[in-house]
Structure 1
Amino acid sequence: MTWAPVPPGSGFGIGNLPYGVFVPPGGRARVGVRIGDHVLDLRAALGEEEFARASLNEFLARGREFWTATRRRIVGLLTDPEQRDRLVDVLYPVSDVVLRLPIEVADYVDFYASERHATNLGAILRPDSAALLPNWKHLPVGYHGRAGTVVVSGTPVTRPCGQRRSAAGAAPVFGPSQRLDVEVEVGFVVGTPSALGRPVPVEDFERHVFGICLLNDWSARDIQAWEYQPLGPFLGKSFATSISPWIVPLDALTAARVPGPPQDPEPLPYLRDSQPWGLDLRLEFALNGHIVSRPPYAQMYWTPAQLLSHLTCNGASLRTGDLFASGTVSGPVPEEYGSLIEITWNGAHPVRLPDGGTRIFLADGDVVTLRGTAPGPGGATIDLGAVTGRVGPAGVHPR
C-alpha cells in the first residue's frame, strides 16, 4: 500500500506509475511519475540529474536495468511511510501542473497491424478486389511519418490543406480536407538505441522498448486517397500525430500480456516470436464526449515485438526517443472499429450524436478523446490516460 493519496478505483495506483514531463507552478519542466491524482517530482525524490530535464530521453537512454531499478526505488519511496514528510511537498496535484510532450521524438513510424482494419479499408476502397493485399500476412506494413509534428494531448489540430480529387477523371483542387479522420492507436517508445546495420531480434523487444502511450494518427482521407499511389501516405498524415502525456512502462504491463492471434501462414524466421507480446488493452474513442467505439487491442495480428523486428531487419538503427505505432486498432464489429471511415463505412452509416447531429468525418470544433486501460497486478486496473485534440479551421492557403 502507498501512503500517497490514491482515490479508490484509480487506475494510477502503485502498480502503474507512468512517466511524464510536467511544469509545476512557478517552476521549470522536469520528469515525474503519476500516482493517483498527483505527480511526484523525480529529481527531488531520487536526486538523479536526468530527471531535471524537459524530456524523458536522458533517462530512457540508461537502459532496461536502470529503468527497472528506478521503478523499484520509486515503489520503495511511495510505500515507506517514513518518506511521506520528505516527499509530500514535491507531490503536485495533476490539476496544478502543465503536462508537456514526454519525449523528444527521434523518428516516427506507423504500422498497419490490425487485420480487421486492413480488411475493412480494403473492402471500402477496393470493393472489386481482395480486401488484403498479397503481402499483408507476410510482413508488417508501415510508413515513415514526421517526428516534428508529434504533439502532446491537448494541442489543437489545424485542419490540413492539400490536393484532393472529388471523382475519377476530375481535375484535382487545393483546399482544406473535407474528410478528416481519427485513428485509435497505441504507440511504443524506444529507449535503448541499436547500431546501424544490426537488426534487433524479436526476443530483444524488452531490451529496447521502454513503454507505451495512446496515439491518434489524424488522417486526411481525401488528401491521402489522391497522393498515396504509388508511394503511400504523405501529407494526409504528416500534419499532426497526438500522443498521451503519460508513458506506461512495460514493467507495469506484465498482467496485460496475452498471446497474439494465430498467424497463417507462419511468418518468416525473423518474425517468429515465442514470447506472448499481445497486450490486453481496452481502448475507447469519444467524439465531443460521446463514446463512439471501444477497439480491442488484444486482437492485433502483428505484435509490437514483430513490428520492432521488421522495422530494423534491413539494418535500420534505433535511436532513443524513436516512436512506432500499431496502426488503427479495430475489432470485428462497428462498435469496435478505430476510425470514422470504418465506423460510417465511408459515409453510408453516419454517426449520430446525442445533440441530434451526425458525423461522417470530423467537423471544425470537434473534440476527439482516446482513453485506454489494461489489467494490472492483483486484479487492479492500469490507466493509460487520455489523448485529446480539438479540430481547428484550416489556416491560410498558399498562393
Structure 2
Amino acid sequence: MITLSIPKDSGFGLANLPYGVYSVGGAAPRVGTRVGDTVVDLALVLAAEDPGAEALFATDSLATFMSTGPAKWAQVRETLQRVLAGEVPKEALHPVASVRMHLPCEFADYVDFYASEHHASNLGRLFRPDNPDPLMPNWKHLPVGYHGRSSTIVESGVDIVRPSGQRKGPGDEEPTFGPSTRLDIEAEMGFIVGVGNEMGSRISVDDASTHLFGAVIFNDWSARDIQAWEYVPLGPNLGKSFASSVSPWVVPMAALADAKVSTPTQDPTPLPYLHMDDPWTLDVDLEVEWNGQVVSRPPFRTMYWSPAQMLAHTTVNGARTRTGDIFASGTISGPDKEQRGAFIELTWGGKEPIQVGGEERTFLQDGDTITIRATAPGANGERISFGEVTATILPTPPLRP
C-alpha cells in the first residue's frame, strides 16, 4: 500500500479528482482519476468500497458511470476523497508519463454555441463594419448555436490535417477548391451530459445541474475561408466539421462549485425558460500557446450565456439529449485584445499580424502546434487544473483523382 504524494499547486489535488480513460502498454483502456502526477485506476482503488466498481470503471468509457446519475456521482466522489487521502494499492497507480489518454466516452451529439458577447461583437465589427450594432438581433434573446459533427471530436495529441474545401475570396469571380489558407482555433469549454432527457421533454435551467456531469477544454478548429463561403444561409458546416479537440480529463461539475460566479448582466431579461434569478457561469482562466508562446488568456467568466441556459435552450423544443452528449461554449473572448480566443480576432481578420517565435503570423501554418490549458478555483483554496489539449497541424494530403 502507498500514500499518494500530491505536489503543492499541482492542480490535481483531492478538490479536483477528474475522470478520464487511460491505458498502459497494450492493455485495454480503463477509467481512472488523476492525483498529482499519478493516474489512479478506479476499479482497483474502489474494489473494497463499492461492489459495482468493476462494472463501472473497468471499461473503456465513462458512459456507464455517467448514466448512473448525480446521487451516484456524489457517492463515488465522496468515497474517492476519503480513500485517496489514505493508503491505496500500489497496483492501482501509474505515473502520468507512462499512460496513454483516450476520449472519455463516445460523444453522442455535439452542439456548438456562440455565447461570448465580446467574440460575437468582434466578428460583427469585422464582417459588418457599416452596421452600428455588431450583434445580430437575436443574439441577446437566445444562445445562438449550430449542430456539429461528433464523429470528428478527437482527444488531445491527435494531429489535425489541414482541411480542403471551396473558397471564394473578395476578388474571385468564381469559387476555387483547395487547402484552407485561413485555418484558425477557437478556445472554448465543453460540457458533457451525464443523464439526458426523453424526446418531447425538456431540461430547465434549474435542473441543469442534475444532468451535467463535467467540463473539458475544447478547441473548435475552424477553416475561416471555407466557412465564409458556405455559411450563408444555413451556417457552419465543412469549415468546422473536420475536427474538434478535447482535453482528456473531465472535471466534474461538483469540483467546480467554488468556481461559480455570476454572468454579466443579461439585458434584456431572457424569456422565462432561460431566466435565472442568479445566472451562473464559471471562473475558468484559459491560456492559448502557439508554438510554445502564450498569445492569449481568455476568461470564461465573461461569457454572456451560462452552461445551464445553453442546455435548457438545446432541449426547449423537445430535443432529446443522451449520456455522452457534449455542447461547447463557442469562442471565449474577453474585452481586451490579449483575451481573444480565436486568431481571426487576435489578428483582426489577418490585418494585424502578431509576433510568434520572431515571425509575423495571422493564421495557422503546417507544423504549428497549439496547446490550450485551463484552471479554476477549487475547494480549500486549491487551484483546479483541466490539464491541456494540444495538436499539431499536418499538411493536406494530395487529392486523389
TM-score over 0.5 for the pair: yes
Q: 2:56 aligns with which of 40, 50, 65?
A: 50
CA deviations 1:32-55 (Å, max 9, x no partner) are: 000001111011112311201111
Q: 1:148 aligns with which of 109, 134, 151?
A: 151
- In the alignment, is the contact (CA less than 8 A) between 2:15 and 2:380 conserved in 1? no
Q: Identify the residue that residue 352 of structure 2 maps to in structure 1.
A: 349
Taking the TM superposition and a 5 Å limit, the aligned residue runs for 1:195-210 are: 195-210=198-213
Query: 1: distance between equivalents of 2:177 and 2:351?
Result: 25
Q: 2:292 aligns with which of 274, 289, 292?
A: 289
Q: Secondary structure at the match of 1:370?
A: strand
Query: 2: distance between equivalents of 1:44 and 1:275?
Result: 41
Q: Identify the residue that residue 13 of structure 1 maps to in structure 2.
A: 13
Taking the TM superposition and a 5 Å limit, the aligned residue runs for 1:78-117 are: 78-80=84-86, 83-84=87-88, 87-117=89-119
Structure 2 unmatched ranges of 5 or more: 48-52
Correspondence 1:59 to 2:61: no
Q: Identify the residue that residue 332 of structure 1 maps to in structure 2.
A: 335
What one-letter code is carried by the residue in structure 1 that aligns with 2:129? P
What one-letter code is carried by the residue in structure 2 that aligns with 1:68? A
- In the alignment, is the contact (CA less than 8 A) between 2:187 and 2:332 conserved in 1? yes
Query: 2: distance between equivalents of 1:396 and 1:316?
Result: 40
What RMSD over aligned residues (CA atoms) do the two structures have, in Å?
Answer: 1.2
Query: 1: distance between equivalents of 2:102 and 2:344?
Result: 30
Correspondence 1:252 to 2:265: no
- Which is worse superposed, 122-131 or 105-114? 122-131
Q: Identify the residue that residue 316 of structure 1 maps to in structure 2.
A: 319
Q: Secondary structure at the match of 2:77?
A: helix
Correspondence 1:364 to 2:370: no
What one-letter code is carried by the residue in structure 1 that aligns with 2:116? S
Deviation of residue 3 (structure 1)? 3.4
Deviation of residue 90 (structure 1)? 1.1
Q: Identify the residue that residue 22 of structure 1 maps to in structure 2.
A: 22
- In the alignment, is the contact (CA less than 8 A) between 2:164 and 2:179 conserved in 1? yes
Q: Identify the residue that residue 4 of structure 2 maps to in structure 1.
A: 4
Deviation of residue 271 (structure 1)? 0.1
Deviation of residue 276 (structure 1)? 4.4
Correspondence 1:270 to 2:276: no
Deviation of residue 123 (structure 1)? 0.3
Query: 2: distance between equivalents of 1:263 and 1:54?
Result: 41
Deviation of residue 89 (structure 1)? 2.1
Query: 2: distance between equivalents of 1:241 and 1:210?
Result: 20
Structure 1 consecutive aligned stretches of length 4 or more whose deviation exceeds 3 Å: none
Query: 2: distance between equivalents of 1:247 and 1:65?
Result: 18
Query: 1: distance between equivalents of 2:259 and 2:296?
Result: 21
CA deviations 1:197-243 (Å, max 9, x no partner) are: 00110001111010000000000000000000000000000000000
Q: Secondary structure at the match of 1:73?
A: helix
Number of equivalenced pairs: 393
Q: Identity, % of aligned pairs? A: 52
Query: 2: distance between equivalents of 1:368 and 1:309?
Result: 32
What one-letter code is carried by the residue in structure 2 that aligns with 1:122? G
Q: Secondary structure at the match of 1:269?
A: coil
Query: 2: distance between equivalents of 1:398 and 1:341?
Result: 31
Q: Secondary structure at the match of 2:21?
A: strand
Query: 2: distance between equivalents of 1:361 and 1:61?
Result: 40
Q: Secondary structure at the match of 2:126?
A: helix
Query: 2: distance between equivalents of 1:349 and 1:307?
Result: 33
Correspondence 1:32 to 2:32: yes
Deviation of residue 273 (structure 1)? 1.4
Q: Identify the residue that residue 50 of structure 2 maps to in structure 1.
A: none
- In the alignment, is the contact (CA less than 8 A) between 2:226 and 2:239 conserved in 1? yes
- In the alignment, is the contact (CA less than 8 A) between 1:193 and 1:318 conserved in 2? yes
- In the alignment, is the contact (CA less than 8 A) between 1:203 and 1:275 conserved in 2? no
Q: 1:226 aligns with which of 216, 226, 229?
A: 229
What one-letter code is carried by the residue in structure 2 that aligns with 1:106? A
CA deviations 1:102-137 (Å, max 9, x no partner) are: 111000000000000000000001111231000000
Query: 1: distance between equivalents of 2:23 and 2:123?
Result: 41
TM-score for the superposition, normalised by structure 2: 0.96
Taking the TM superposition and a 5 Å limit, the aligned residue runs for 1:379-398 are: 379-397=381-399
Q: Identify the residue that residue 159 of structure 1 maps to in structure 2.
A: 162
Q: Secondary structure at the match of 2:287?
A: strand
Q: Identify the residue that residue 74 of structure 1 maps to in structure 2.
A: 80
Deviation of residue 168 (structure 1)? 5.4
Query: 1: distance between equivalents of 2:23 and 2:221?
Result: 27
Query: 1: distance between equivalents of 2:23 and 2:16?
Result: 21
Query: 2: distance between equivalents of 1:167 and 1:173?
Result: 12
Deviation of residue 379 (structure 1)? 1.6
Query: 1: distance between equivalents of 2:32 and 2:360?
Result: 40
- Which is worse superposed, 122-131 or 154-163? 122-131
Correspondence 1:170 to 2:173: yes
- In the alignment, is the contact (CA less than 8 A) between 2:24 and 2:99 conserved in 1? yes
Q: Identify the residue that residue 185 of structure 1 maps to in structure 2.
A: 188
Q: Secondary structure at the match of 1:202?
A: coil
- Which is worse superposed, 126-135 or 329-338? 126-135
Deviation of residue 397 (structure 1)? 2.2
Structure 1 unmatched ranges of 5 or more: none
Query: 2: distance between equivalents of 1:137 and 1:168?
Result: 34
Deviation of residue 176 (structure 1)? 0.1
Q: 2:243 aligns with which of 240, 244, 252?
A: 240
What one-letter code is carried by the residue in structure 1 that aligns with 2:109? D
